Structure 1
């Protein structure tokens, strides 16, 4: 029964995470409630996110929704940001990281009402003064703390006027890049409970495929309201975790 529940958690969390980020809102608290040790829960999420993110990216790449030549540079930028964030995290307390997370998410929420960027698809992805620092900064945040990384990245791609379905693929590629190193670390340190991780992974793979298919049918004008709802939920979750 525990494995079935983890499979369902993986489906729900990754479907949401693919569409608007914030999949950790579902998976991480649910695994802790089930009594799974915190490091094993994080490790399971990192392993499942690594593989499911690549699967959804590859699906969109195979359907020619995204170009590897155009997006390949995201990998080193996100990876280096994640490594930098991991180093900085060792110097910052958990309480301060939570405050940083809330500030970033509140800023993204307010900025979403500015009217700039609506996933119109008018612009191609390219390296410029917004995309590179933005992706590197979000990579640092992912290495520092993590929750809301995909949501923040979707805000960035929306601002850059990248088409939504392309933005989904780019976020999944960046998530694969930032989670890959972390997954290896958790595996190497023996924190992974493999039967539970595989159950979550299978659910995540299913959710990733459901998510990309739903994403193709969503109209750009409804994306920002969805992102705002996820952002508010993330802020509430982080605040509650701080209080408790």
Structure 2
């Protein structure tokens, strides 16, 4: 046993939660979808689903803080989009946190899986999406902000599949490359995480015994993942992104049907 922040931790559990945070955040900082690894892992360890989803926000705080720092230093953030997305993210995070206390997330699984798989042909129909930056018209940008607001609510509540959907939406509506989309989204998503985390702590859903090791592991994983994405470039990151959404979509559909 070790003592940290007033909690007595079992060493094996600490290492397990740290590893979950590290691996899921590394993966999530490259392609989104960290929750697809961390949530099932926590459920396997016997954590109730609503506590798992809420406590992961503490890990996300570390992930987005360090990945955003790396993306900002690498000059990958498109600030003209990131700044307007911040208030949208804050409001969406608060609404999503409240929604988590009310919604039955299982009812949406089938729809989520179908939506995620629909991204794949759209990506291949436009080979430049995520690779080359474009400059969309005003109507498309407005639609993008609306879609982002909806995804912010979804990401702060149900969470599963939100990362890839957000990245795709930003690439499609704002014309950014996949790394620019990830970097720009990370800035706003950090505020979603903060607003929803504060609310979920207030509602009593966050377990700090699990969350503190997740926070530490996720901070390291977020930085390493962002560094890898920047180093490898947009083409490599897009390929990984497509593989991720294929696996994610089929996994969600399988679990919904069977």
Q: When the two structures are superposed, what TM-score results if normalisation uses the length of structure 2?
A: 0.81
Count of residue correspondences: 244
What is the deviation of 1:72?
1.0
1:164 aligns with 2:172: no
What residue is the counterpart of 2:236 in the other structure?
A: 222
82-91 or 7-16, which deviates more: 82-91
118-127 or 168-177, which deviates more: 118-127
| Stretches of structure 1 lacking an aligned partner (at least 5 in a row) | none
What residue is the counterpart of 2:77 in the other structure?
A: 66
What residue is the counterpart of 1:51 in the other structure?
A: 62
Contact 2:151 2:162 in 1 (8 A): yes
What RMSD in Å do the two structures reach over aligned CA positions? 2.7
Deviation track 1:84-116 (CA, whole Å, cap 9, x = no partner) reads 556677786434322331232122222112115
| Stretches of structure 2 lacking an aligned partner (at least 5 in a row) | 1-11
Contact 2:21 2:38 in 1 (8 A): yes
Contact 1:101 1:145 in 2 (8 A): no
Q: 1:176 aligns with which of 181, 185, 190?
A: 190
What residue is the counterpart of 1:211 in the other structure?
A: 225
How many angstroms apart in 1 are the aligned matches of 2:135 and 2:66?
Answer: 23
Q: 2:200 aligns with which of 180, 186, 191?
A: 186
Instruction: From the superposition, tell whether residues 187 and 85 of structure 1 become closer, same or farther in structure 2 (CA, over 3 Å).
Output: closer
Q: Aligned with 2:232: secondary structure?
A: coil
The 5 A counterparts of 1:99-118 are 99-115=110-126, 117-118=128-129
How many angstroms apart in 2 are the aligned matches of 1:80 and 1:116?
Answer: 33
1:78 aligns with 2:92: no
Q: When the two structures are superposed, what TM-score results if normalisation uses the length of structure 1?
A: 0.86
What residue is the counterpart of 2:9 in the other structure?
A: none
What residue is the counterpart of 2:38 in the other structure?
A: 27
Contact 1:10 1:200 in 2 (8 A): yes
What residue is the counterpart of 2:213 in the other structure?
A: 199
Deviation track 1:188-231 (CA, whole Å, cap 9, x = no partner) reads 13333223211011110000010111011223223333222211
What is the deviation of 1:183?
1.2
What residue is the counterpart of 1:136 in the other structure?
A: 149
How many angstroms apart in 2 are the aligned matches of 1:157 and 1:129?
Answer: 12
Instruction: From the superposition, tell whether residues 83 and 198 of structure 1 become closer, same or farther in structure 2 (CA, over 3 Å).
Output: closer
